[in-house]
Chains A and B, each alone.
Chain A
Amino acid sequence: MSSAVRFENVSRHFGSVRAVDGVTLDIAPGEFFAMLGPSGSGKTTCLRLIAGFEQPDEGDILIFGDSVAGVPPYRRAVNTVFQDYALFPHMTVGGNVAYGLMIKGVGLAERETKAREALAMVKLSGYEDRRPSQLSGGQRQRVALARALVNNPKVLLLDEPLGALDLKLREQMQEELKALQQDLGITFVFVTHDQGEALSMANRVAIFNDGRIIQAGTPLEVYERPNSRFVADFVGSSNVLPPDFAARHGGVARWTSLRPERIKVSDATASVADDHGSTEGVVHAINYQGSVTRIGIEAGAVRISAAVPAGSSSTKIGDKVRLIWPKSAMTAMESEA
């Protein structure tokens, strides 16, 4: 079975800027795929390449096995949910949702029925006659989603669709989007700079930087086994230990990632089991964050951050402590970058 979306060594340049630089990628049918990266990393350009708003300078893109080189957006079986929704202000909600069907020449009765169904799917039944300007941000988001899904696309592209929503609403929409994707079985390609969003929603994540994919894998893989310092830092936060330090403290002589939540903060006198690594250090920062407390420790020249459940530690700045972690939590990385 061919991939839903396949990038074959795709590059896109804007002047001297390599926005997308030799990306090769396979997205399986029915997958919820997240493109994660900082702004300017090329993830949005990749999305626009799939939609057809950009054409690759090099390489080829295939959608369900067919090359889409030179195919304009209006002849691609993909639809986009835009970052700021891009709802048509001169049409009602119903008109917006039915737009794609109207363009295809679907009859009035049928497109009204389908628009109603699509709005019901995003829990906006009865909003057909409102104007986009009368809706809240979350509701507009749902309309944009319905407007794309009503066309039954082979691939749905989502460009930071939750970026403008407040935290509570965003969490709710994350769950709904995920449920919707599982119900419909449509391939979702989701662009975000929010690692939490990518990890919680996607089947697979590609992490972008400087126009390249640094690592692609399941959320568990990229979180537990980051292949580079960039991924370790960007996906969650991590302690990146230099090779010599890692070798002396239970790892191998490579750049090593150690997640803060895997580190236990104990008394300086605590004993250490064989399968654990440890180091002594002095507490130099305590940062209360609600559910966890982050403790910054200086262990010689290396600064390590540990995350402990709130209220579980009574350490103070200046205390001498022993950090203990399972050796299995140390991930040796392929590259320093």
Chain B
Amino acid sequence: MSAPAATLDVPPPPGRPLADIFFSRPELLTLLLLLPPLLWIGVVYVGSLFALLLQSFYSLDDFSGLVVHEFTLATYTELLEEANVQIILRTVTMAAMVTLACSIIAFPIAYYAARYAKGWTKALFYLAVMMPLWSSYLVKVYAWKLILAKEGIITWFAGVTHLSWVVDGLLAMPVIGGPSLSFSYIGTFLVFVYIWLPFMILPIQAALERVPANLIEAATDLGADPRQTFRTVIFPLALPGIIAGSIFTFSLTLGDYIVPQIVGNSRLMIGQAVYTLQGTAGDIPLAAAFTVVPMVIMAGYLWMAKRMGAFDVL
């Protein structure tokens, strides 16, 4: 032991008084740490969101092409026109399908990773899930365009395995079909599912990892076979994770404008509509009104999930 350096009659080394103040008043330190993010969230983030909301209550003068800075619901009336409602319905349906597919594909992967993967298999799991996120989003989407194109690998593979009739059959289906996979809703859907899958796997895995193994044993002990155990214990406890994942996949799909632009038919999604409206058309109010739609949908979705008890475990 060195000499008793902490006795009161030893003068504190320079710089100590600040540490002493923080030690005796921890809330000061918390405030100091929180101030920058609070300013960011409060001013830059919520502030601009509010400005956006405000824009949706203005309107565009058709004649002059200028924004009229007066409160009106005219823009929202315009939003409810047939063509715009079609865009919203199309996007919501796509987002719902993508979310459903992602959760169905993600669950077994997440379950395996949470329950069985240990050591290097777990590392491999994280690598496999995260690696697609390390590469450029645009590159991935263009790669998919090539994969799905008429001259792409899927068409070729279907040809050599004499399964062309499956692809042709899919493309011949009304609405979801089209001239080729890369010019159909099927293609858009496939790319969305691929791109957002990690955002579904990780929250489900985190939720499943927190389910203690002895709850599964308890259910088994009380007479539940594996199917009943899944339905009554594992699934309800994983539900917050599924909801969290679906918030990602749902909202990301609702707002995306690149994937449907590159892979898909020419019918617009919300993101593309916003992109066109605020750009060439200069109709900022309607673009703002369009962006309010996903927010309202997500708020409604979360409210419903809460009502159905999805967050009771948290």
Name A's B-contacting residues (CB within 8 A): 51-53, 72-75, 78-80, 82, 84, 86-90, 99-100, 102-104, 147-148, 151
Contacts and interface: CB of A to CB of B under 8 A. Distances in A.
B314 to A, nearest CB: 10
B312 A86 contact: no
A88 B233 contact: yes
A250 B242 CA distance: 74
A29 B218 CA distance: 24
Per CB-CB distance, the 5 closest pairs between chain A and chain B, nearest first, are A86-B218, A100-B222, A86-B214, A73-B220, A103-B223
A103 B217 CA distance: 14
A229 to B, nearest CB: 35
A52 B223 CA distance: 11
A264 to B, nearest CB: 48
A82 B217 contact: yes
Interface in B226-249: 228, 232-233, 236-237
Interface string B182-226: 000000000000000000000000000000101101111111110
A79 B220 CA distance: 10
A72 B212 contact: no
A100 B223 contact: yes
Contacts of B219: 88, 99, 103
Contacts, number: 63
Nearest to B213: A86
A90 B223 CA distance: 18
B313 A90 contact: yes
Contacts of A53: 217, 220-221
29 contacts: A51-B221, A52-B220, A53-B220, A72-B225, A73-B220, A74-B220, A74-B224, A79-B221, A80-B218, A80-B221, A82-B214, A82-B218, A84-B214, A86-B214, A86-B218, A88-B218, A89-B215, A89-B313, A90-B236, A90-B312, A99-B232, A100-B223, A103-B219, A103-B223, A103-B232, A104-B223, A147-B222, A148-B221, A151-B222
A159 to B, nearest CB: 10
A3 to B, nearest CB: 21
Chain A binding surface, main DSSP class: mixed
Given A86-B212, A88-B215, A90-B312, A103 B233 contact: no
A147 B219 CA distance: 11
Given A86-B217, A100-B223, 20 more contacts: A52-B220, A74-B220, A74-B223, A74-B225, A78-B221, A80-B217, A82-B214, A82-B218, A84-B214, A86-B214, A88-B218, A89-B215, A89-B313, A90-B312, A99-B219, A102-B232, A103-B228, A104-B223, A147-B222, A148-B221
Contacts of B214: 82, 84, 86
B243 to A, nearest CB: 13
A103 B222 contact: yes
Interface residues of B, number: 19
A284 to B, nearest CB: 33
Contacts of A75: 223
A86 B215 contact: yes
Contacts of A78: 221
Chain B binding surface, main DSSP class: helix
* Most central of A72, A86, A148 by chain B CB within 10 Å: A86
A27 B220 CA distance: 24
B220 A72 contact: yes
A90 B232 CA distance: 10
B7 to A, nearest CB: 37
B222 A99 contact: yes
A122 B217 CA distance: 23
A91 B223 CA distance: 17
A141 B108 CA distance: 33
A82 B232 CA distance: 19
Contacts of B212: 86
Contacts of A79: 221-222
Interface in B106-131: none
A103 B220 contact: no
Contacts of A90: 236-237, 312-313
Contacts of B233: 88
A72 B214 CA distance: 16
A70 to B, nearest CB: 15
Contacts of A80: 217-218, 221
B306 to A, nearest CB: 14
A100 B214 CA distance: 16
Contacts of A72: 220, 225
